Structure 1
Amino acid sequence: MAVTALGDLIEIDDRTVLVLGQELDVEHDQPDVANALVHRAGDTVVLVDTGVTPAFRAALRAATDRVGPWSRALVLTTHGHPDHVGNNDLADELGVPVEHYLPALDLDQMRDPASYWARSLERIAGAAALPEPALAADRLVSLFQPMRPFGATTRTYEERPLEQIRIGSLRFTGWTFAAGAVRVLRSQGHCAGHVIVHLRDSGVVHLSDEGNGPCGAMADADQLKIQTTLGAVALLFEDGEAALLTDGHTFAVRRAEEVAPYLDGLLEQATALQEAALALTSESRRVRPSAFTTRFQESVAELGGGGANPNTMFTAMMAVNQLRELGLRPESGGVDAPWSRPALQNPAPDPPRRAAAARGSQPASTLRGAR
């Protein structure tokens, strides 16, 4: 793939542009910036995510000029992570009637991203060599500045009536805009509030971060929902209901013939990674997150399953989630405490307890007679 730079535009058609972001590089104080879609549906310009940084804000403005003319605006937030929401107040500067919607389940993390990331990092304190979670979270969030996730018109999707949305033979729930030309579909895998977007007239499905890897990394991720979403989107393309796939971090537009093999590959990675994790945990009844993560990271490298923007922190998050997926639980709250599978049955009582329990279960008359 050709080398890209922050804010580069990929023209999908004369009314749809993908605005390219950049990868995370904490060591060089570089935030990751998610790709954004800019699309015109009739007289409405639609922005799907707004990234972060002033440079990306300028690129969004250039993209809105590219797809014009328009007299209304609609800003759609796919989820609340800072690389997707930093320029949301751009909605207030477009100079036309505007609406902005975001997922209600992500409001808390958007109000207080440092606490959200601290909780996520606390879960991997023993699995990765990181600073104290609160300090690491503050450091991470400080990269995403200025951060303006709310505007004067911001509302939640959930303030609108939930709709059943049928696309070909598939059924989703979510919300429609611009007379049905823009469909926001609930997915909720990458994080609690996540949505994906289908642009009917351009045939684009924007996965945002549901395509960022086959296994959940965030504390509020749901691995099953990620994989279910990937399977449903593959069917949209197989049924001819979509023609182009974009996402938050791979800096590419995939044509229909590429999509099913790509999504199948992600799902195959998911099963392969869980198989690798199962093998690692089958060797011993108890595992420590640090040792498991080191070996799991080797499996991720071999299978190429680290997601679109791989790094040590996200791999450790994936590792901890894999332990939970396999049914293991921490034995204590200590850093790097062993994980094991809980017992399937309550332990048997000791002999005196069994005898007492037996006496307690006898009828009162029997007990009196025994005396």
Structure 2
Amino acid sequence: MTALGDLIEIDDRTVLVLGQGLDLGRGQPDVANALVHRAGDTLVLVDTGVTEVFRAALREASARVGPWSRALVLTTHGHLDHVGNNDLADALGVPAEHWVPAPDLDQMRDPVGYWIRAFERVAGPAELSDPAGTAARVVSLFRPMRPFGRTTRTYEERPLERIRTGPLRSTGWTFADGAVRVLRSQGHCAGHVIVHLRDPGVLHLSDEGNGPCGAMADADQLKIQTVLGSAALLFEAGEAALLTDGHTFAVRPAAEAVSHLDRLLDQAIALQEASLGLVGQGGPVAPGGFAAGYGRAMADLGVGGANPNALFTAMSAVNQLRELGLRPESGAADAPWSRPPSRSCKADG
């Protein structure tokens, strides 16, 4: 049984700081895992979670991997459970850099607005009567919230690099003389990045591995699945040795990591097949009925993911409808969904 702020020592320079799951009923925010690593004389923090308890755990882990004389704080994406202690970069007492994804700046500045848009999309299928109020209540759980510091800049201010990691060619940015690689992924949300720590061989997926189908309004299913496949390739090629992520409280060695990634891809395929059965010939489909059937399919397939609850299941269901090519027939919250009619071109003459 793990607790918020527990430390898993990967090696004498690398520690995984464990977060916790979301419990709306108890008013408990989810907190994402964070990586603490020392590359030469540089302290590297990959995400900072949220809550004062987690902040203290980050400081403990930072002391454990020392000594260091500069700091590098890397934000994988802008969700609340990953950014609450970002101002720690200003409080470490050494020269520091803090980098965030530019596409996520808006949600970091206005998290309530971001979650209102997320919940409005599923007001019908989730039977959510007050998306704005629900968004405000959810955001209020994440305190204190300090996503910016004096040194905060966006990755996109740096020149984009082509990064070769064994057989994989990626784009992103390198730090600490190449010991830290930040690779663009953008599946879980618009600005998402993953991080590869060269020396311990740790590949940190953050939230790209949350499940086989993304829930967020700015998720991209193809990118999620591409990241999962690329990550498996890195392990099979020996370029990565350990897999960590934002919400699985474990460190997976290579063979287990590949099996886990393949399982997520298999679940994505099985969910798509089940969803095709639910929509039949493509509509009209009642979104509430589809979400209920989608939830049953997830249960039958053993699909978990981070923070499973009815609201997130409905969010994933709506994304799956779009993935199948269906669109709402009107702007009403409970409007049926159907496939737009195909147009055939008549041959001339």
Assess same fold via TM > 0.5: yes
Q: What code does the residue aligned with 1:93 have?
A: A
1:124-273 map, 5 Å: 124-273=122-271
**What SS does the corresponding residue of 1:286 show, helix, strand or coil?**
coil
> Which string of whole-angstrom CA distances, capped at 9 and with x for unpartnered residues, describes residues 121-150 of structure 1?
000011113241111100100000110000
Equivalent in the alignment of 1:16: 14
> What is the rounded CA distance, in whole Å, between the counterparts of 1:186 and 1:296 in structure 2?
30
Contact 2:235 2:254 in 1 (8 A): yes
> What is the rounded CA distance, in whole Å, between the counterparts of 1:141 and 1:346 in structure 2?
47
Equivalent in the alignment of 1:307: 305
Q: What code does the residue aligned with 2:40 have?
A: G
Equivalent in the alignment of 2:96: 98
Q: What code does the residue aligned with 1:81 have?
A: H
> What is the rounded CA distance, in whole Å, between the counterparts of 2:316 and 2:62 in structure 1?
36
Deviation, 1:42, is: 0.2
> What is the rounded CA distance, in whole Å, between the counterparts of 1:80 and 1:22 in structure 2?
18
> What is the rounded CA distance, in whole Å, between the counterparts of 1:306 and 1:283 in structure 2?
28
Contact 1:245 1:259 in 2 (8 A): yes
Q: What code does the residue aligned with 1:305 have?
A: V
Equivalent in the alignment of 1:360: none
Equivalent in the alignment of 2:42: 44
Contact 1:306 1:315 in 2 (8 A): no
**What SS does the corresponding residue of 2:153 show, helix, strand or coil?**
strand
- Give aligned-pair identity as a percent: 75
> What is the rounded CA distance, in whole Å, between the counterparts of 1:347 and 1:122 in structure 2?
37
> What is the rounded CA distance, in whole Å, between the counterparts of 1:54 and 1:149 in structure 2?
14
Contact 1:102 1:156 in 2 (8 A): yes
Which has the higher Rg, Structure 1 or Structure 2? 1
Task: Find 1:338's aligned residue among 321, 336, 348.
Answer: 336
**What SS does the corresponding residue of 1:287 show, helix, strand or coil?**
coil
> What is the rounded CA distance, in whole Å, between the counterparts of 1:283 and 1:297 in structure 2?
20
> What is the rounded CA distance, in whole Å, between the counterparts of 2:244 and 2:271 in structure 1?
24
**What SS does the corresponding residue of 1:27 show, helix, strand or coil?**
helix
**What SS does the corresponding residue of 1:165 show, helix, strand or coil?**
strand
> What is the rounded CA distance, in whole Å, between the counterparts of 1:295 and 1:283 in structure 2?
16
Deviation, 1:305, is: 1.9
How well do the aligned residues superpose, as a CA RMSD in angstroms?
Answer: 1.3
Deviation, 1:312, is: 1.1
Q: What code does the residue aligned with 1:277 have?
A: S
> Which string of whole-angstrom CA distances, capped at 9 and with x for unpartnered residues, describes residues 142-164 of structure 1?
00011000000000000000000
Deviation, 1:216, is: 1.4
Gaps of 5+ in 1: 349-371
Contact 1:273 1:305 in 2 (8 A): no
> What is the rounded CA distance, in whole Å, between the counterparts of 1:211 and 1:159 in structure 2?
27
> What is the rounded CA distance, in whole Å, between the counterparts of 1:186 and 1:224 in structure 2?
14
**What SS does the corresponding residue of 2:87 show, helix, strand or coil?**
helix
Choose 241-250 or 281-290, whichever is displaced more: 281-290
> What is the rounded CA distance, in whole Å, between the counterparts of 2:7 and 2:229 in structure 1?
28
> What is the rounded CA distance, in whole Å, between the counterparts of 1:56 and 1:261 in structure 2?
30
Q: Give the paired residue count.
A: 346
TM, length-normalised to structure 1: 0.92
Q: What code does the residue aligned with 2:256 have?
A: E
TM, length-normalised to structure 2: 0.97
Deviation, 1:284, is: 6.5
> What is the rounded CA distance, in whole Å, between the counterparts of 1:231 and 1:288 in structure 2?
33
> What is the rounded CA distance, in whole Å, between the counterparts of 1:274 and 1:252 in structure 2?
28
Deviation, 1:257, is: 1.3
Structure 1 residue runs of 4+, over 6 Å off?
none
**What SS does the corresponding residue of 1:88 show, helix, strand or coil?**
coil
Deviation, 1:206, is: 0.2
Q: What code does the residue aligned with 1:71 have?
A: S
> What is the rounded CA distance, in whole Å, between the counterparts of 1:285 and 1:241 in structure 2?
45
Contact 2:189 2:220 in 1 (8 A): yes
Task: Find 1:320's aligned residue among 310, 318, 321.
Answer: 318
